[in-house]
């Protein structure tokens, strides 16, 4: 039977959002550490280093309702979205042949690609099962995880197809990251907001805010690959190009420095040449200026949403984290 | 809103099951041929050779109700289960490094492992989205595809872990195929029966029947790897062992022929040695005798179900196909 929404609302107060987040972490840990015995060794490896749960936090925050309470299904949804994120990372690492993930050996490096493909599939199932356990089935159906997930998958494919494509346009690049990264942020904001709002126009605003924040996050991440150290990023830096991933700072250098693209195509590029070209072209400044556009759009939505002070503060904090560095 | 079941029932008569099946094929083809442009080339490749839709046919058949009609959601569910099956095949081929699938180049062989991982993920999403479009959301929720899918995935993992394991017991082998193959047949029978039945005990019987038929299908397939030609099977034969997959005929030879397992472990086996050992040990007779046990259990359930003559005939036909060769 479909549960009546009213039954399961207002279980937590928003002031205890940190406590709620720790319940999300517990849910994720339970899936990873208490998975069926046959797969436990592999999924348990993923508990060694956890992410920052920025998507989970986003979902919980959007789920804060007008009375300052959080629908209890927000915990399952947030855990599910973190598990989907983890599943895509596991498959990404297979696709990119990545050795490190969150400072630990990637699953594919430690156990092989075959195991990693299967584990990614299992994590997707686990995420869907967890969300499906929601007490409020109407909200679960509205959430429609497969739709969001398919956008993420298509974004991955777009990126993969455009590996080492020196002709990649800014427009197409933005479409790629809109799928690859922003779609899951959008899903988090959307799923949170359907638990706190009923007005479709308002839910649409939350979704857009999530997508913009996802764009900002990815563009900032692109810059970090040039700016930061492996120690800070907890993942390889100066590595996008080496993995044939052409990001915006480099795209900007390709389209502004005469002869640079041709050189890349004919004789390849050394790391120092890339860094020098991106510096000369102002690739990071350009990328950050685009991030700023999304930042300004986000601020506008934040004002339109007429949020409580608490919720406004928390969403601003997420936005600012994305804009600087998480 | 959750649709009332009564609205959407009795749309097709069971006598037109072939017509209904062709609608299932159309749904699957639509997903593969009209997928987003970025992925269409790859998914369209999968339309070049289609399977026998035995899972889809099973689902439709189980969905025939007492009045001889088929719930219209059966079409979406059947298409979804065929797409899930296709997704697992695409990922399987990545895992097994298979070159051929249904007589055509496998996706991973033609386009690479990376693309195949992503396409498998996309097909899973597409399957879930299609099932989620069901007019009757209650039935969709009951279907619970992720749960069934997770059993398939865990079966794959079990098989992978036991690659080249010469100590694999009969018991464990049956557990592996119970996940890897039988779980999806069970899902098809289960999903069909929830559209035609309400009594949980009867639905349970359908599920069991599906699982038994899946076991029979896999055990027969194991024998075919020894008996048939590539032309007949439309896939490589005499190949399980070469892919490190130890199946029941060989397990039986390992446990009955003195010194044979030790020989395999120390110096490996040539194809002729395997065939000779399986013949000598009666590995195919043993495997078929186990299939027969499941066949007898299936017959018992078919009697218990008190089916119409039409439905009995159709389910018997599916059972007999699995027991011989599809």
User: Considering only alpha carbons, which residue of chain B is nearest residue A112?
Assistant: B95
Q: What is the mean pLDDT of residues B114-128?
A: 91
Contact between A31 and A43 (Cβ < 8 Å):
yes
CA distance linking residue B195 with residue B222, whole number of Å: 32
Helix (H) or strand (E) holding B41: helix B37-45
Question: Is A158 an interface residue toward B (CB < 8 Å)?
Answer: yes
CB-count exposure of residue B18 (10 Å: 0-12, 13-18, 19+) = exposed
- Is residue B4 predicted with pLDDT exceeding 90? no
- What percentage of chain A reaches a pLDDT higher than 70? 92
Say what the pLDDT of residue A6 is.
37
Domain with CATH 1.10.600.10 in chain B: 1-142, 144-326
- Is residue A228 predicted with pLDDT exceeding 80? no
User: Considering only alpha carbons, which residue of chain A is nearest residue B129?
Assistant: A146
- Chain B nearest CA to A296, separation (Å): 31
Name the architecture of domain A144-326: Orthogonal Bundle (1.10)
User: Considering only alpha carbons, which residue of chain A is nearest residue B124?
Assistant: A146
Segment among B13-27, B139-153, B178-192 with least mean pLDDT: B13-27
Segment among A43-57, B72-86, B167-181, B186-200 with least mean pLDDT: A43-57
Say what the pLDDT of residue B11 is.
55
- Is residue B104 predicted with pLDDT exceeding 90? no
Q: Does domain A1-140 have CATH number 3.30.1490.190?
A: no
Q: What is the mean pLDDT of residues B148-162?
A: 91
Chain A CB contacts of B94 under 8 Å are 113-114, 117
A 49-78 residues with CB < 8 A to B: none
Say what the pLDDT of residue A107 is.
85
**Three-state SS across chain A?**
CCCCHHHHCCCEEHHHHHHHHHHHHHHHHHHHHCCCHHHHHHHHHCCCCCCCCHHHHHHHHHCECCCCEECCHHHHHHHHHHHHHHHHHHHHHHHHCCCEECCEECHHHHHCHHHHHHHHHHHHHHHHHHHHCCCCHHHHHHHCHHHHHHHHHHHHHHHHHCCCCCCCCHHHHHHHHHHHHHHHHHHHHHHHHHCCCCCHHHHHHHHHHHHHHHHHHHHHHHHHHHHCCHHHHCCCCCCCHHHCCCCHHHHHHHHHCCCHHHHHHHHCCCHHHHHHHHHHHCHHHHHHHHHHHHHHHHHHHHHHCCCCHHHHHHHHHHHHHHHCCC
* Contact at CB, A122 and B146, closer than 8 angstroms: no
Say what the pLDDT of residue B79 is.
96
Say what the pLDDT of residue B9 is.
46
Q: What is the mean pLDDT of chain B?
A: 88
CA distance linking residue A103 with residue A74, whole number of Å: 29
Question: Is A265 an interface residue toward B (CB < 8 Å)?
Answer: no
Chain A CB contacts of B141 under 8 Å are 132, 137, 140-141
Which of A76, A91, A108, A114 is the best mutation test for B, with the most CBs of B within 10 A?
A: A114
Chain B CB contacts of A137 under 8 Å are 2, 137, 141
Q: What is the mean pLDDT of residues A104-130?
A: 88
Q: What is the mean pLDDT of residues B25-52?
A: 87
Highest mean pLDDT among A227-231, A247-251, B38-42: A247-251
Say what the pLDDT of residue B3 is.
34
Say what the pLDDT of residue A231 is.
66
Say what the pLDDT of residue B231 is.
66
Say what the pLDDT of residue A114 is.
85
Q: What is the mean pLDDT of residues B52-71?
A: 93
- Is residue A276 predicted with pLDDT exceeding 70? yes
- Is residue A221 predicted with pLDDT exceeding 50? yes
* Contact at CB, A158 and B38, closer than 8 angstroms: yes
**The overall pTM is greater than 0.80:** yes
- Chain A nearest CA to B38, separation (Å): 7
- Is residue A2 predicted with pLDDT exceeding 50? no
Which distant-in-sequence residues (6+ apart) come within 8 Å of B262 by Cβ? none
Give the nearest partner residue to A38 out of B38, B39, B157, using CB atoms.
B157
User: pLDDT by residue (tens digit) across A182-203?
Assistant: 999 999 999 999 999 999 999 9
Question: Is B104 an interface residue toward A (CB < 8 Å)?
Answer: no
Question: Is A40 an interface residue toward B (CB < 8 Å)?
Answer: no
Q: What is the mean pLDDT of residues A73-79?
A: 96
Q: What is the mean pLDDT of chain A?
A: 88
DSSP codes joined into one string, B108-147: HHHH-HHHHHHHHHHHHHHHHHHHHT-S-HHHHHHH-HHH
B64 pairs with which residues across the strands? Answer: B70
- Is residue A5 predicted with pLDDT exceeding 50? no
Between A239 and B236, the more confident residue is A239
Question: Is A115 an interface residue toward B (CB < 8 Å)?
Answer: yes
Phi-psi category of residue A144: left, alpha or beta, with phi > 0 → left and psi -120 to 50 → alpha: left
Global ipTM: 0.85
Phi-psi category of residue A68: left, alpha or beta, with phi > 0 → left and psi -120 to 50 → alpha: left
Say what the pLDDT of residue A7 is.
36
Tokens representing A139 are 């909200």
Chain A CB contacts of B129 under 8 Å are 144, 146-147, 150
- Is residue A50 predicted with pLDDT exceeding 80? no
User: pLDDT by residue (tens digit) across A159-176?
Assistant: 889 988 999 999 999 999
Say what the pLDDT of residue B51 is.
81
Q: What is the mean pLDDT of residues B220-242?
A: 78
- Is residue B13 predicted with pLDDT exceeding 80? no
**A44-69: burial string, b at 16+ Cβ within 10 Å, e else:** ebbeeeebebbbbbbbbbbbbbeeeb
Between B234 and A269, the more confident residue is A269
Say what the pLDDT of residue B162 is.
92
Give the nearest partner residue to A147 out of B2, B129, B150, using CB atoms.
B129
Chain A CB contacts of B138 under 8 Å are 2
Give the nearest partner residue to A146 out of B91, B119, B128, using CB atoms.
B128
User: Considering only alpha carbons, which residue of chain B is nearest residue A38?
Assistant: B158
CA distance linking residue A297 with residue A209, whole number of Å: 8
Tokens representing B130 are 């299609």
Q: What is the mean pLDDT of residues A51-70?
A: 93
Say what the pLDDT of residue A182 is.
96
Give the nearest partner residue to A150 out of B125, B145, B156, using CB atoms.
B125
Q: What is the mean pLDDT of residues A234-240?
A: 71
Question: Is B112 an interface residue toward A (CB < 8 Å)?
Answer: no
Question: Is A167 an interface residue toward B (CB < 8 Å)?
Answer: no
Between A50 and A93, the more confident residue is A93
* Contact at CB, A132 and B144, closer than 8 angstroms: yes
- What percentage of chain A reaches a pLDDT higher than 90? 62
Question: Is B126 an interface residue toward A (CB < 8 Å)?
Answer: yes
Question: Is A153 an interface residue toward B (CB < 8 Å)?
Answer: yes
- What percentage of chain B reaches a pLDDT higher than 70? 92
Segment among A272-276, B229-233, B243-247, B316-320 with least mean pLDDT: B229-233
Say what the pLDDT of residue A179 is.
93
User: pLDDT by residue (tens digit) across B268-279?
Assistant: 889 889 999 999
- Is residue B223 predicted with pLDDT exceeding 70? yes
Domain with CATH 1.10.600.10 in chain A: 1-140, 144-326
Name the architecture of domain B1-142: Orthogonal Bundle (1.10)
CB pairs under 8 A between A and B: 117
Contact between A185 and A211 (Cβ < 8 Å):
yes
Question: Is A117 an interface residue toward B (CB < 8 Å)?
Answer: yes
φ, ψ at A102 (rounded to 5°): 50, 40
């Amino acid at each position: 039977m479909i549960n009546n929404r009213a039954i399961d609302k207002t279980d937590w107060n928003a002031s205890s959002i940190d406590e709620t987040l720790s319940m999300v972490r517990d849910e994720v840990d339970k899936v990873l550490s208490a998975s069926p015995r046959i797969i436990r060794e592999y999924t348990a490896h993923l508990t060694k280093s956890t992410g920052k749960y920025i998507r989970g936090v986003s979902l919980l925050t959007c789920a804060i309702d007008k009375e300052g309470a959080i629908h209890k299904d927000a915990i399952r949804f947030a855990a599910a979205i973190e598990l989907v994120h983890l599943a895509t990372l596991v498959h990404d690492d297979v696709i990119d042949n990545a050795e490190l993930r969150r400072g630990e050996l990637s699953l594919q490096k430690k156990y092989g690609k075959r195991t990693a493909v299967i584990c990614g599939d299992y994590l997707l199932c686990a995420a869907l099962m967890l969300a499906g356990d929601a007490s409020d089935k109407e909200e679960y159906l509205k959430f429609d995880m497969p739709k969001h997930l398919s956008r993420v998958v298509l974004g991955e494919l777009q990126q993969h197809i455009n590996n080492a494509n020196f002709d990649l346009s800014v427009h197409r690049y933005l479409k790629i990251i809109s799928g690859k990264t922003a779609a899951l942020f959008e899903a988090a904001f959307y799923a949170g907001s359907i638990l706190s709002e009923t007005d479709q126009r308002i839910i649409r605003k939350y979704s857009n805010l999530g997508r913009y924040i996802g764009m900002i996050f990815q563009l900032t991440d692109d810059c970090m690959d040039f700016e930061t150290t492996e120690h800070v990023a907890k993942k390889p830096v100066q590595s996008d190009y080496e993995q044939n991933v052409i990001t915006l700072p480099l795209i900007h250098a390709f389209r502004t420095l005469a002869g640079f693209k041709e050189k890349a195509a004919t004789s390849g590029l050394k790391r120092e040449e890339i860094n020098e070209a991106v510096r000369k072209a102002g690739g990071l400044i350009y990328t950050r200026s685009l991030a700023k556009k999304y930042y300004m759009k986000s601020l506008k939505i934040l004002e339109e949403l007429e949020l409580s002070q608490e919720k406004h503060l928390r969403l601003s904090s997420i936005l600012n984290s994305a804009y600087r560095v998480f």
